């Protein structure tokens, strides 16, 4: 495991998959962000009305934080060292000493406390990921995958962002690879990861996850008619934010996954994966149409009524289209 | 999504930053396209910000008239709600709620003021006062 001479930043759609892709590149395993996302089986949907974040129910288009790091370790045989700390000062010391050893280090942080984030994008989300690759004086040089170019952050500010308490508290989490395989047997790992992810989306035992989760959310939208109008609009806006504002690469990770299926199809020379990729692109387009409808509803004037049943029907048709992609992937021969 | 359809709406919430979006070229091949934002996303982000601002203004007025402590305002002003603040403080919500009352708030220990100030990222003096309305934008 010999790192490249110098670290190269690249712009990614999503923080965790971006970080892992950059780290793998650094250690000589060129995995695209889409490959990282797909191979870790991170595509998901979950609607958890009983878990509230900022007063809104949890809606996720991907698996839980750290699942990409963990999934990649499991599926590719990568080994990561992961460390959390009980004292902030201790965590800063550990980071500085790793940087002195010439390592690039992944870290989990809050978004709100990172000063380089645009003011209007700073919310209390604690599961952001970035790479620290150097320290100059009192400043860290940071490769934040969702930014076009590297950024800088002062020691105290990063320490605050790493040690914020609350839901998904980072506890100063630092991580870096200790073993990266030189090659990957794609013919084995790709079909396995794709089938497993399709199965998770299609055959979940709980009604709040996968395709059933999408239908559950559709049902909840149908019931907004009886709710307070302000709440209803905030709820719809919240769906759009989870789908488009969080770094999802568009359409709540559906486009990244389509990109992954396309790349997998080329590697395995399998036309079925290419066709599935095209289907997933169309599903993504439908998610974007849905978001556009939601945006119209939240911008509507007091006098205009919102037709929740149309929104519900649209989301149900997205669920149907997405389920068809997973069925195709599960029934087909991927090798 | 087609490359040509990736929105470039220069949305204000990005503050001139760009986001990476996955889209296909004329041959259907996927790649990363940088986007200056989609007005749909901007509407949703702004809506969330406006709601937090609405709550902060309401809290400001309540604190000004003595119905609530400055803490109540500072919580919303730092884009938190009761749940977020309680978790960030590592305290039960009912305890925090008590400190929304001006009398209970004034009696807090110096240590407690320091903890709140640290969690909210402001000084103790700022925590105990209401900012000038215009300076704060509230």
Indicate whether B1 pLDDT > 60: yes
**Which residues on chain B are in Cβ contact (under 8 Å) with A285?**
1
Indicate whether B135 pLDDT > 90: no
What is the mean pLDDT of the segment spanning A14-43?
Answer: 96
**In chain A, where the domains are located:** 15-179, 186-331
Mean pLDDT of chain A: 95
pLDDT number for residue B134: 56
Instruction: Identify the residue whose tokens are 């590592």.
Output: B90
Q: Which chain A residue's Cα is nearest to B53?
A: A120
Under an 8 A CB cutoff, do B1 and A112 touch? Answer: no
Task: State whether residue B4 sits within 8 Å of chain A by CB.
Answer: no
Structure tokens that stand for B31 in this block: 């790649």
Q: CB under 8 Å, gap of 24 or more: what pairs does A278-281 form?
A: A278/B28, A279/A321, A279/A324, A279/A325, A279/A328, A280/A254, A280/A255, A280/A322, A280/A325, A281/A254, A281/A255, A281/B1, A281/B24
Structure tokens that stand for A308 in this block: 């929740």
Mean pLDDT of chain B: 94
**Which residues on chain B are in Cβ contact (under 8 Å) with A300?**
none
**Which residues on chain A are in Cβ contact (under 8 Å) with B14?**
118, 121
Indicate whether A290 pLDDT > 70: yes
Q: Which helix (H) or strand (E) holds B31?
A: strand B30-35
Report the share of chain B in percent with pLDDT over 90: 95
Task: Kindly report, residue by residue over A92-118, the tens digit of the pLDDT.
Answer: 999 999 999 999 999 999 999 999 999
Under an 8 A CB cutoff, do B20 and A281 touch? Answer: no
Indicate whether A2 pLDDT > 80: no
Which of B12, B20, B23 to probe by mutation at the A interface, max A CB count within 10 Å? B20
Looking at CA atoms only, how far is residue B6 from chain A in angstroms?
9
pLDDT number for residue A246: 85
Q: What are phi and psi of A142, to 5 degrees?
A: -120, 135
pLDDT number for residue A4: 60
What CATH number was assigned to the domain covering residues B49-136? 1.10.260.40
Indicate whether A46 pLDDT > 50: yes
Indicate whether B138 pLDDT > 80: no
CATH topology of domain A15-179: Cathepsin B; Chain A (3.90.70)
What is the mean pLDDT of the segment spanning A303-314?
Answer: 91
> Are the C-beta atoms of residues A190 and A334 closer than 8 Å to each other?
yes
**In chain B, where the domains are located:** 3-37, 49-136
Nearest of A269, B112, A30, A63 to residue A10 by alpha carbon: A30
pLDDT number for residue A333: 87
What is the mean pLDDT of the segment spanning B95-119?
Answer: 97
Instruction: Indicate if ipTM > 0.85.
Output: yes
Q: Which chain A residue's Cα is nearest to B38?
A: A244
pLDDT number for residue A263: 98
Under an 8 A CB cutoff, do A259 and B39 touch? Answer: no
Q: Least CB-CB distance to A255: which of B19, B23, B84? A: B23
Q: Tell me how far apart the alpha carbons of residues A281 and B24 are, in angstroms, rounded to a whole number.
A: 9
Task: Kindly report, residue by residue over B7-58, the tens digit of the pLDDT.
Answer: 999 999 999 999 999 999 999 999 999 999 999 999 999 999 999 999 999 9
Under an 8 A CB cutoff, do B48 and A237 touch? Answer: yes
> Are the C-beta atoms of residues B59 and B72 closer than 8 Å to each other?
yes
pLDDT number for residue B87: 94
Whole-number Cα distances in Å, A92 to A7, A89, A104, A285:
21, 5, 14, 43
Could you tell me which residues come within 8 angstroms of residue A119 by beta carbon, excluding any fewer than 6 positions away? B15
Instruction: Identify the residue whose tokens are 């803490």.
Output: B71
């Amino acid at each position: 495991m010999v790192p490249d001479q110098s670290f190269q930043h690249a712009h990614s759609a999503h923080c965790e998959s971006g970080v892992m892709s950059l780290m793998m590149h650094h250690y000589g395993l060129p995995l695209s962000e889409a490959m990282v996302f797909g191979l870790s089986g991170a595509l998901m949907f979950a609607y958890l009305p009983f878990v509230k974040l900022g007063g809104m129910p949890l809606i996720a288009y991907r698996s839980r934080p750290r699942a990409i790091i963990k999934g990649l370790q499991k599926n590719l045989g990568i080994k990561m060292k992961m460390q959390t700390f009980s004292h902030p000062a201790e965590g800063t010391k550990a980071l500085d000493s790793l940087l002195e050893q010439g390592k690039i280090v992944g870290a989990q942080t809050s978004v709100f406390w990172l000063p380089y984030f645009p003011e209007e994008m700073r919310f209390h989300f604690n599961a952001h990921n970035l790479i620290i690759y150097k320290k100059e004086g009192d400043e860290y040089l940071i490769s934040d995958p969702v930014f076009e170019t590297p950024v800088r952050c002062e020691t105290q500010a990063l320490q605050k962002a790493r040690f914020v308490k609350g839901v998904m508290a980072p506890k100063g989490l630092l991580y870096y690879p200790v073993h990266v395989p030189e090659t990957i047997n794609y013919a084995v790992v790709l079909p396995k990861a794709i089938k497993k992810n399709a199965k998770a989306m299609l055959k979940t035992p709980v009604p709040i996850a996968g395709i059933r989760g999408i239908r559950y959310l559709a049902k909840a939208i149908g019931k907004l008619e009886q709710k307070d109008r302000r709440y209803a609009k905030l709820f719809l806006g919240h769906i759009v934010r989870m789908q488009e504002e969080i770094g999802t690469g568009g359409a709540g990770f559906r486009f990244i996954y389509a990109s992954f299926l396309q790349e997998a199809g080329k590697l395995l020379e399998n036309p079925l994966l290419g066709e599935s990729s095209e289907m997933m692109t169309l599903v993504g387009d439908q998610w974007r149409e849905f978001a556009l409808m939601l945006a119209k509803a939240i911008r509507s004037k007091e006098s205009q009524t919102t037709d929740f049943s149309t929104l519900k029907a649209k989301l149900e048709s997205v669920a149907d289209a997405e389920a068809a992609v997973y069925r195709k992937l599960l029934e087909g021969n991927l090798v | 999504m087609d490359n040509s359809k990736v929105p470039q709406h220069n949305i204000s919430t990005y503050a001139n930053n760009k986001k990476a979006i996955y889209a296909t070229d004329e041959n259907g091949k996927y790649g990363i396209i940088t986007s200056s934002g989609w007005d749909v996303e901007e509407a949703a982000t702004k809506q969330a910000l406006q709601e937090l601002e609405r709550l902060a203004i309401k809290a400001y007025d309540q604190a000004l008239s003595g119905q609530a402590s400055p803490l109540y305002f500072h919580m919303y002003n730092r884009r938190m709600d009761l749940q977020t603040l309680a978790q960030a403080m590592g305290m039960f919500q009912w305890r925090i709620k008590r400190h929304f009352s001006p009398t209970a708030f004034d009696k807090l220990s110096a240590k407690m003021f320091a903890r709140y100030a640290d969690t909210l990222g402001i000084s103790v003096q700022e925590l105990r006062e209401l900012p000038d309305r215009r300076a704060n934008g509230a």
